[in-house]
């Protein structure tokens, strides 16, 4: 799925009532299946941008166009319910911290990602994903019984549960040591290739970003002044 | 993972809070259901119209006291009426044409705390010779239900014999062939008992009727008048009714027997029939009009009063039992509403603690409506489970109540059946729970996803 960002603007209202511009991007694009890194410093608006691309936030202005199978969808104009459904079916999201549900096992957390698409659940695929991320022996472990690296690998498997067309990864290695970070990155890239998903990975770590096919600098894209 | 599995998972995750909320619902519904069962049971028990007799004749005074005393063996007899009235009823066409069956009773003694009732063999469907009466002349204890002798036979009308109710062996230790002496009145515990010298032999044991009759010792009417104290008392009453002062009892009179016993055990009673007194006469009339006519005829003379036991009990139920049970019902509804508020608070707190989880579910594609449904289903499920357990608890309470009432009046009530009002109540509790869940559900509905994802 190809994505086209055009004239995207987002502002927040500060506590004193002042308007704080956060995003002002004239445009960039992701090709179908492309794996792109977006680098930027803390507070530069990386997460806000990803939330808008995922339809969690709505931009004040601009378009976020998804091209797939001959259709063109601007997620910014969809209703909230339509955005939720679109996200559930087409987008996998990996957070900086794993954001797993503590009362659910690893397998249930992955299956949970399949619960909101309206499609038939696929437990075999959920198991396959966990095997792919090296957790075949930990299917029924709850997050509290897994290491931080293992938790993040479950989160990677969950993001791929619905065979998404786009994976958004918000500093997925930020909380990991270098060895675990490399493992998780490799898994994300491998699984995205396996399902044919485009990848937009946000990081402040240039070493991580450089391993992807293209690196975008948010400071260059985001014209706030 | 479907919606239901997801809800169950969430509930299990917060099992302590879930159980405590369910417990509060359980208590409210249990109390409400128990009150409904008791109300229903009391309605059937005390508000019933299914008596074997439709007219009760006794002393003028409290109709309710007369009914409670005769039907449920509760309270004291309101007084005496002359035996001659019974005889008149059986012979005079004015009364006779209205009467199908009439059975006289006299009460005043007890055995080990259980009431002794003096009556005639026809109470048990046999005549004085022991021949079975046809159904039209067999009073029974409920319409179409006749006393059955489980062991032995019905007492002879003129011997010191007794027929005991089915609970009497367990309550007093009496069994077929045993002899016993009656105690005057119903002495309070630790009070000296005035035991009559006469001895009765248990000639028969009744099959269970599940009425107050199961706890009664029945003796022949004539034997009741053989007891000196009764005889002296009855003579005194007769003298008073004639406007004379009763003569004080002398020791000689006390020592002299007022009956003689034949070699075959039959009694020759010296007390004239004009001195005989009764506590009540149970009448099965020939129909509704006849019952009214008989009551009118009896109530228009000064000797006795005639009442409809069904009407008296219905009045009793409406005046005393119904308002108090309605009050209890209102309390149980309040408890249920409080439990509903408990659901609201519990789920509201849980939603506040789960803002991050809700945001994650939203990020995974769960719509606002799905989250709203999730919370409401959880609240409804807590209401349904708590309510169902409450119904069970209510019926256990109902069973305990039935045992208590059975001990009190010899008759329990049906505590097993779930009445339509209980199903409606359960439905209302589930609806209330869902409504209580709606407030936290709206909070979850409005959860700003991005803020909660970042805050986490």
Spatial CA neighbour of B280 closest among B48, B45, B119, B115? B119
Do A99 and B370 lie within an 8 Å CB cutoff? no
ipTM, two decimals: 0.86
Rounded to whole angstroms, how far apart are CA atoms B209 and B168?
A: 13
- Distance from the Cα of residue B265 to its chain's centroid: 39
Do residues A199 and A37 touch, judged by C-beta distance below 8 A? no
How does residue A59 score in pLDDT terms, banded at 50, 70 and 90?
A: very high
User: Who among A47, A99, A121 is closest to B1 (CB)?
Assistant: A121
Q: Of the candidates B2, B361, B449, which has its C-beta nearest A56's C-beta?
A: B449
The burial class, CB within 10 Å (0-12 / 13-18 / 19+), for B242 is exposed
Asked if B10 and A101 count as a contact pair (C-beta separation under 8 A), the reply is: no
* Across B253-266, average pLDDT: 74
Question: Taking 90 as the threshold, does the pLDDT of residue B287 lie above it?
Answer: no
Mean pLDDT to the nearest integer, A136-158: 91
- Asked if A97 and B453 come within 8 Å (Cβ–Cβ), the reply is no
A12 — contact with chain B (CB < 8 Å)?
no
Interface with A, mutate which of B363, B366, B377, B454 (most A CBs under 10 A): B363
A with B: how many residue pairs have Cβ under 8 Å apart? 73
Which residue in this structure is represented by tokens 């009046």?
B409
Q: Considering only A77-81, A164-168, B129-133, B323-327, which range has the smallest mean pLDDT?
A: B323-327
Query: By the CB < 8 Å criterion, does B17 face chain A?
Result: no
Give the chain A residue nearest B447 (alpha carbons).
Answer: A56
Q: B213 Cβ partners below 8 Å, 6+ apart?
A: B141, B147, B165, B206, B410
Encode pLDDT of B226-251 as tens digits: 886 665 555 555 555 566 655 555 55
Q: Which residues contact B20 (CB under 8 A, 6 or more apart)?
A: B346
Let me know: does A119 contact B365? Beta carbons within 8 Å: no
The minimum CA-CA distance between A5 and chain B, rounded to whole Å, is 20
Q: How far apart, in whole angstroms, are the C-alpha atoms of residue B179 and residue B191?
A: 23
**What's the CA gap between B22 and B387, in Å, rounded?**
8
In a 3-state reduction of DSSP, which class is residue A109? Answer: helix
Confidence of residue B281 (pLDDT cuts 50, 70, 90): very high
**pLDDT: is B258 or B165 the higher one?**
B165
Q: Which residues of A touch B367 (CB under 8 A)?
A: 80-81, 84-85, 116
B121's tokens = 């063999």
**Residue A116 and residue B449: Cβ atoms within 8 Å?**
no
In whole angstroms, what separates CA B112 from the centre of its chain? 22
Q: What residues contact residue B300 under an 8 Å CB cut-off, 6+ apart?
A: none
Q: List residues bridging with B219 in a β-sheet.
A: B118
- How far off is chain B from A23, nearest CA to CA, in Å? 15
Q: Do A81 and B369 touch (CB under 8 A)?
A: yes
Q: How many CB atoms lie within 10 A of CB A15?
A: 7
Q: What number of H helices and E strands is found in chain A? A: 8, 9
Tell me which chain A residues have a C-beta less than 8 angstroms from the C-beta of B13: 102-103
Q: Choosing among B4, B365, B367, which should be mutated to test the A contact, i.e. which has the most A CBs within 10 A?
A: B365
For residue B212, what pLDDT is reported? Answer: 85
Given an 8 Å threshold on Cβ–Cβ distance, is A85 in contact with B365? yes
Distance between CA B306 and CA B322 in Å, rounded?
25
User: Is there a contact between A102 and B13 if contact means CB atoms under 8 Å apart?
Assistant: yes
**Taking Cα atoms as reference points, which of B26, B16, B24, B18 lies closest to residue B378?**
B18
Q: Which residue has the tokens 């009364």?
A: B95
**Cβ–Cβ under 8 Å, residues A97 and B455:** no
CA distance A99 to chain B (A): 7
Which residues from B are below 8 Å from A114, CB to CB? 1
| Tens-place pLDDT, residues A155-208 | 999 999 989 999 999 988 887 788 888 888 999 999 999 999 999 999 888 888
- Average pLDDT of B389-418? 86
* CA pair distance B238, B235, nearest whole angstrom: 5
% of chain B exceeding 70 in pLDDT: 91
pLDDT surpasses 70 at A91: yes
User: Containing H/E element for B450?
Assistant: helix B449-455
Which residue in A95, A97, A116 is closest to B366 by CB distance? Answer: A116
Enumerate the residues of chain B whose CB falls inside 8 A of the CB of residue A87.
363, 365
Nearest CB partner across the interface for B9, out of A97, A104, A116: A104
The pLDDT of residue B253 is 53
The pLDDT value given to residue B327 = 83
How much of chain A exceeds pLDDT 90, in percent? 47
A64 strand-pairing partners: A5
Q: Which two tokens stand for residue A216?
A: 């975008």
Residue B184 has pLDDT above 70, yes or no: yes
* Angstroms from B431 CA to nearest CA on chain A: 26
Which range of A193-197, B129-133, B344-348 scores highest in mean pLDDT? It is A193-197
The closest of B89, B96, B94, B97 to B57, measured between CA atoms, is: B89
pLDDT of residue B241: 57
Q: B132 pairs with which residues across the strands?
A: B126
Q: For the residues of B184-241, what is the DSSP string, one character each?
A: ES-PPTTSPP-B-S--EEEEEEEPP-SSGGGG-EEEEHHHHHHSHHHHHHHHHHHHHH
**Longest C-alpha distance within chain A, in Å?**
53
Q: Which of A89, A101, A116 sits opposite B370 (nearest CB)?
A: A116
Give the integer Cα–Cα distance in Å for B123 and B412: 23
**Shortest CA distance to B450 belongs to which of A219, A170, A182?**
A170
Phi-psi region of A69 (alpha: psi -120 to 50; beta: other; left: phi over 0): left
Q: Which span out of B186-190, B207-211, B326-330, B411-415 was modeled with the highest average pLDDT?
A: B207-211
pLDDT given for residue B129 in this prediction: 85
Where helices occur in B248-321 by DSSP H, the ranges are: 251-255, 288-299, 309-316
- Determine contact, residues A39/A212, Cβ cutoff 8 Å: no
Q: Which pLDDT does position A190 carry in this prediction?
A: 92
Top mean pLDDT of A216-220, B44-48, B175-179, B449-453 is at B175-179
Query: By the CB < 8 Å criterion, does A103 face chain B?
Result: yes
Give residue A192's pLDDT: 93
> Token pair for residue A131?
């095997």
Using a CB-CB distance cutoff of 8 angstroms, which residues of chain A are in contact with residue B3?
115
Yes or no, beta carbons of A114 and B1 under 8 Å apart: yes
**Tokens linked to B226:** 């053989």
Mean of all residue pLDDT scores within chain A: 88
Helix (H) or strand (E) run with residue A102 in it = none
For residues B118 and B221, is the Cβ–Cβ distance under 8 A?
Answer: yes
What's the rounded Cα separation, in Å, for the pair B301 and B123?
26
| Predicted pLDDT at B432 | 87
The residue of chain B nearest to residue A87, with distances taken between CA atoms, is B365
Interchain CB distance below 8 Å, B361 and A116: yes
Quick check: B269 contacting A, CB < 8 Å?
no
Q: How far apart are CA B405 and CA A190, in angstroms?
A: 76
Closest alpha carbon within chain A to B12:
A103
Contacts of residue B7 in chain A, CB cutoff 8 Å? Answer: none
Residue B230 Cα distances to B75, B240, B308, angstroms: 19, 15, 28
Q: What are residue A37's DSSP bridge partners?
A: A201, A215
pTM (2 d.p.): 0.66
With beta carbons under 8 A apart, name residues in chain B contacting A80. 367-368
Residue B72 pLDDT grade (very low, low, confident, very high; cuts 50, 70, 90): confident
Asked if B361 and A117 come within 8 Å (Cβ–Cβ), the reply is no
Pick A97 or A73 by higher pLDDT: A73
Pairing assessment for the beta strands B81-82 and B277-278 based on DSSP bridges: antiparallel
């Amino acid at each position: 799925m190809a994505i086209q960002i055009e004239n995207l603007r987002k502002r927040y209202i500060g506590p004193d009532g002042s308007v704080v511009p956060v995003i002002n991007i004239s445009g960039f694009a992701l090709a179908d299946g492309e794996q792109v890194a977006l680098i930027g410093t803390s507070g530069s608006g990386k997460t806000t941008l990803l939330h808008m691309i995922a339809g969690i936030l709505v931009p004040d202005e601009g378009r976020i166009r998804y091209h797939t199978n001959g259709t063109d969808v601007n997620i910014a104009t969809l209703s909230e319910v339509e955005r939720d459904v679109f996200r559930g079916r087409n987008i996998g999201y990996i957070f900086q911290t794993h954001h797993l549900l503590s009362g659910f096992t690893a397998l249930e957390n992955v299956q949970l990602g399949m619960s909101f698409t309206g499609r038939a659940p696929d437990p075999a695929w959920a198991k396959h994903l966990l095997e792919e991320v090296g957790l075949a022996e930990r299917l029924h472990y709850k997050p509290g019984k897994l290491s931080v690296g293992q938790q993040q690998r479950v989160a990677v498997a969950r993001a791929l549960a619905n065979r998404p067309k786009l994976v958004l990864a918000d500093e997925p290695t930020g909380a990991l040591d270098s060895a675990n970070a490399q493992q998780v990155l490799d898994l994300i890239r491998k699984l995205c290739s396996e399902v044919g998903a485009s990848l937009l990975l946000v990081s402040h770590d240039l070493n991580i970003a450089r391993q992807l096919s293209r690196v975008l600098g948010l400071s260059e894209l985001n014209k706030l002044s | 993972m479907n919606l239901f599995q997801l809800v169950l998972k969430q509930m299990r995750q917060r099992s302590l809070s879930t159980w405590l909320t369910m417990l509060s619902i359980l208590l409210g519904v249990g109390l409400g259901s128990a009150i409904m069962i008791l109300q229903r049971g009391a309605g059937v028990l005390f508000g019933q119209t299914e008596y074997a007799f439709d007219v009760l004749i006794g002393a003028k005074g409290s109709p309710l006291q007369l009914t409670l005393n005769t039907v449920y063996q509760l309270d004291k007899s309101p007084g005496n009426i002359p035996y001659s009235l019974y005889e008149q009823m059986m012979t005079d066409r004015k009364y006779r044409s209205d009467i199908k069956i009439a059975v006289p009773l006299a009460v005043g003694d007890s055995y080990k705390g259980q009431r002794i009732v003096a009556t005639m063999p026809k109470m048990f469907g046999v005549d004085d010779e022991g021949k079975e009466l046809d159904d039209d002349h067999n009073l029974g204890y409920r319409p179409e239900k006749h006393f059955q002798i489980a062991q032995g036979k019905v007492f002879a009308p003129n011997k010191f014999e007794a027929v005991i109710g089915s609970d009497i062996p367990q309550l007093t230790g009496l069994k077929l062939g045993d002899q016993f002496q009656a105690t005057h009145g119903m002495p309070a515990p630790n009070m000296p008992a005035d035991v009559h010298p006469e001895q009765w032999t248990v000639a028969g044991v009744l099959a269970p009727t599940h009425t107050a009759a199961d706890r009664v010792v029945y003796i022949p009417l004539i034997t009741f008048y053989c007891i000196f104290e009764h005889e002296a008392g009855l003579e005194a009453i007769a003298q008073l009714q004639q406007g004379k002062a009763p003569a004080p009892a002398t020791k000689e009179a006390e020592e002299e027997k007022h009956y003689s016993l034949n070699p075959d055990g039959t009694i020759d009673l010296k007390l004239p029939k004009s001195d005989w007194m009764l506590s009540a006469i149970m009448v099965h009339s020939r129909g509704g009009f006849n019952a009214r006519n008989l009551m009118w005829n009896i109530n228009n003379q000064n000797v006795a009063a005639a009442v409809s036991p069904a009407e008296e009990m219905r009045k009793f139920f409406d005046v005393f039992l119904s308002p108090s049970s309605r009050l209890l019902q209102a309390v149980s509804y309040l408890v249920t509403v409080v439990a509903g508020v408990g659901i609201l608070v519990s789920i509201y707190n849980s939603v506040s603690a789960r803002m991050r989880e809700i945001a994650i579910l939203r990020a995974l594609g769960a719509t606002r409506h799905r989250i709203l449904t999730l919370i409401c289903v959880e609240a409804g499920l807590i209401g349904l489970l708590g309510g169902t357990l409450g119904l069970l608890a209510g019926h256990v309470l109902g069973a305990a109540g039935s045992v208590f009432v059975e001990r009190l009046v010899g008759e329990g009530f049906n505590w097993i059946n779930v009445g339509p009002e209980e199903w409606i109540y359960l439905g209302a509790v589930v609806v209330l729970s869902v409504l209580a869940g709606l407030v936290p559900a709206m909070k979850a509905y409005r959860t700003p996803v991005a803020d909660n994802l970042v805050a986490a």
